[in-house]
């Protein structure tokens, strides 16, 4: 009898994975959402949940105590986003991707894997949007972080007969011997890896060393401690970085040590230039300043942080101290920043429940109040909405640059506003109008060939610029926001770019 029981126990131990379902890390009897109930009945998702919890705990132990609250808040936000997967077309695929991408993000943030050097690719029709890929061979499965311009997406290795193929949400990459086929949210392109020689890397290092060092203390001792020149050269804290509690910016940028010896991928913190709010946040009669910082840990994510600065010392010799910092979100687009009634108000476009991480589509207002050295987020009275051309209604914009780095300043500014499903404004010498239709993805639009009045331009420069603007406007296919500015992406054939517009409060919406 004992022999039979022993044999039965052996058989059960062999086939136990098929006889009992795997339990996730949480109590299924207390499952509070449709997604959690699915995880409890899906062994593969339950295994991912267990793995994610283990990686999360390891990452949490690897970072300083002062930064754990930020990682915990981000984890709670991730769980909330995962539980919204029921709203998507394929709930299970959404949940699986959420787990896999979060595991990679935690491994990078917690220093659990080495971050290899990125591979630059030269892709057709992408002259204005650099394409880089970081291949993580230590993840399971292997993954690739693809960056196109300011957007990122994570893809995971799939079986293929030759080369390496990575698939993600609305993206795929097939790489073989330095050549790649990239499909990026419906756009297909051929790419060629750009090889960086040791000499070119060395030259970059020498150029960086040749720059004149900036003394943060001297810059901070400026008459205006809240000037951008001072704020670009001061200390900030409160980021989700496993190696640094406090960073000091040098001309608006801090770069940490590379994750891999000799590598070029390292954590970075950058002050977002051109957007700032000042006002009294604590009722002491003295103004504080609020600025935005982008924290890039070197892996997945571009993490927006909000920082409050106060003045210390006398007015003549005062400096700006970072009294509070808070994480806002990943890939958040900023429409406006202000201080209103003693509270910080941030208008954003952020990732909504149905959005891929690369393509935020929820228009929202975020509000915080300062309590000592802590920022507490409050519930906004303003309802969220979806990003659409109607988001632009009620504002007037002035063209600032034709594309990044190319000024569009002229004696008669080019303007743009949205009214009755049309872009209207001044193109220099004439008024123009063009119909705008929303696309499928957030921010996608199509623009009809513009019509305009027919006044002759006596100034040849105005005439040339007017023709250029109307041509580029016709090819606009997407709009977005950055640091309070409007960005219109245009492109056809080999001619691609992004027009940047500044909000002009002196112009009334037409």
In which band, very low, low, confident or very high, does the pLDDT at 77 lie, cut at 50, 70 and 90? Answer: confident
Most confident of 99-113, 365-379, 403-417, 487-501: 365-379
| Whether pLDDT at 1 is above 80 | no
pLDDT at 86: 83
Q: What is the 3-state secondary structure (H, E, C) of 277-304?
A: EEECCCCCCCCEEEEEEEEECCCCCCEE
pLDDT at 39: 92
Half-sphere exposure of 172 (CA within 13 A, CB side): 12
Give the sign of the dihedral formed by CA 242, CA 117, CA 148, CA 127.
positive
Reduced to 3 states (helix: H, G, I; strand: E, B; else coil), residue 131 is strand
Position with higher pLDDT, 33 vs 505: 33
pLDDT at 242: 46
- For residues 74-103, average pLDDT: 85
In which band, very low, low, confident or very high, does the pLDDT at 453 lie, cut at 50, 70 and 90? Answer: very high
- Quickly tell me which residue has 């610029």 as its tokens: 465
Is the backbone peptide bond immediately before 141 cis, with ω within 30 degrees of 0?
A: yes
The tokens of 109 are what?
């943030």
- For residues 148-173, average pLDDT: 79
Average predicted confidence (pLDDT) for the chain: 80
Reduced to 3 states (helix: H, G, I; strand: E, B; else coil), residue 141 is coil
CATH topology identical between 119-194 and 389-503: yes
The tokens of 72 are what?
């915990």
Choose among 306, 130, 154, 311: nearest CA to 220. 311
pLDDT in tens, 302-356: 789 999 999 875 444 468 999 999 999 888 999 999 999 999 999 999 988 877 7
Position with higher pLDDT, 508 vs 490: 490
Reduced to 3 states (helix: H, G, I; strand: E, B; else coil), residue 143 is strand
Average the pLDDT over each of 70-79, 118-127, 463-472 and give the range with the smallest value: 118-127
Choose among 354, 349, 353: nearest CA to 331. 349
- For residues 234-247, average pLDDT: 72
Residue ranges of the alpha helices (H) in 23-132? 34-40, 43-62, 65-82, 91-109
pLDDT at 298: 62
H-run or E-run covering 180: strand 179-184
pLDDT at 486: 94
pLDDT at 20: 43
Q: How many CB atoms lie within 10 A of CB 478?
A: 18
Average the pLDDT over each of 51-65, 269-283, 370-384 and give the range with the smallest value: 51-65
Q: Give the fold, CATH level 3, of 119-194.
A: Lipocalin (2.40.128)
Reduced to 3 states (helix: H, G, I; strand: E, B; else coil), residue 174 is strand
| Whether pLDDT at 380 is above 90 | yes
- Report the C-alpha gap between 284 and 171 in whole angstroms: 51
Most confident of 8-12, 35-39, 156-160: 35-39
Which residues make beta-bridge pairs with 123? 191
Q: How many CB atoms lie within 10 A of CB 286?
A: 10
Q: Give the fold, CATH level 3, of 389-503.
A: Lipocalin (2.40.128)
CB 165 within 8 A of CB 173: yes
Choose among 122, 149, 117: nearest CA to 136. 117
Structural domain spans, the chain: 21-109, 119-194, 213-386, 389-503
R_g over Cα of the chain: 26
pLDDT in tens, 167-177: 888 888 887 76
Choose among 483, 467, 449: nearest CA to 304. 483
């Amino acid at each position: 009898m004992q022999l039979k029981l022993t044999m039965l126990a052996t058989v059960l131990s062999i086939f136990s994975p098929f006889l009992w379902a795997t339990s996730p890390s949480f109590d299924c009897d207390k499952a509070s959402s449709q997604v959690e109930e699915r995880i409890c009945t899906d062994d593969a998702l339950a295994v991912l949940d267990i793995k994610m919890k283990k990686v999360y705990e390891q990452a949490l132990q690897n970072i300083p105590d002062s930064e754990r609250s930020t990682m915990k808040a981000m984890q709670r936000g991730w769980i909330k986003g995962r539980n919204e997967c029921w709203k998507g077309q394929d709930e299970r695929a959404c949940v699986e991707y959420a787990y896999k991408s979060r595991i990679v993000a935690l491994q990078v943030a917690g220093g659990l894997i080495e971050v290899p050097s990125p591979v630059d690719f030269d892709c057709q029709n992408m002259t204005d949007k650099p394409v880089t890929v970081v291949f993580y061979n230590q993840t399971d499965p292997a993954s690739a972080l693809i960056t196109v311009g300011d957007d990122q997406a994570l893809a995971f290795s799939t079986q293929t007969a030759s080369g390496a193929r990575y698939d993600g949400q609305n993206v795929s990459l097939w790489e073989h011997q330095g050549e790649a086929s990239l499909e990026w949210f419906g756009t297909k392109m051929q790419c060629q890896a750009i090889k960086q020689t040791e000499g070119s890397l060395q030259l970059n290092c020498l150029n960086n060393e040749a720059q004149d060092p900036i003394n943060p203390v001297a810059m901070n001792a400026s008459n205006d401690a809240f000037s951008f020149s001072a704020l670009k050269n001061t200390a900030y804290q409160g980021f989700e970085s496993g190696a640094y509690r406090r960073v000091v910016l040098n001309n608006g940028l801090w770069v940490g040590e590379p994750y891999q010896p000799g590598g070029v991928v390292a954590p970075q913190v950058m002050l977002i230039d051109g957007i700032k709010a000042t006002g009294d946040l604590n009722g002491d009669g003295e103004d504080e300043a609020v600025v935005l910082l982008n924290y890039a840990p070197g892996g997945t994510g571009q993490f927006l942080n909000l920082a409050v600065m106060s003045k210390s010392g006398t007015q003549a010799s005062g400096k700006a101290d970072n009294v509070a910092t808070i994480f806002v979100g990943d890939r958040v687009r900023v429409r406006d920043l202000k201080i209103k009634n003693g509270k910080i108000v941030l208008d954003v476009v952020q990732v909504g429940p149905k959005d891929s991480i690369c393509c935020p589509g929820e228009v929202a207002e975020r509000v915080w109040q300062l309590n000592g050295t802590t920022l507490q987020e409050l519930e906004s009275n303003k309802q969220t909405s979806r990003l659409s051309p109607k988001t632009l209604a009620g504002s007037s914009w002035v063209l600032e640059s034709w594309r990044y780095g190319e000024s569009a300043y002229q004696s008669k500014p080019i303007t743009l506003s949205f009214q009755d499903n049309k872009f209207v404004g001044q193109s220099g010498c004439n008024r123009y109008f063009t119909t705008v239709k929303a696309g499928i993805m957030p921010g996608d639009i199509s623009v009809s060939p513009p019509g305009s009045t027919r006044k002759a331009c006596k100034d040849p420069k105005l005439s040339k610029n007017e023709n250029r603007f109307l041509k580029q406007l016709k090819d606009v296919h997407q709009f977005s926001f950055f640091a309070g500015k409007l960005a219109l992406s245009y492109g056809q054939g080999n001619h691609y770019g992004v027009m940047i517009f500044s909000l002009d409060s002196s112009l009334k919406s037409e």
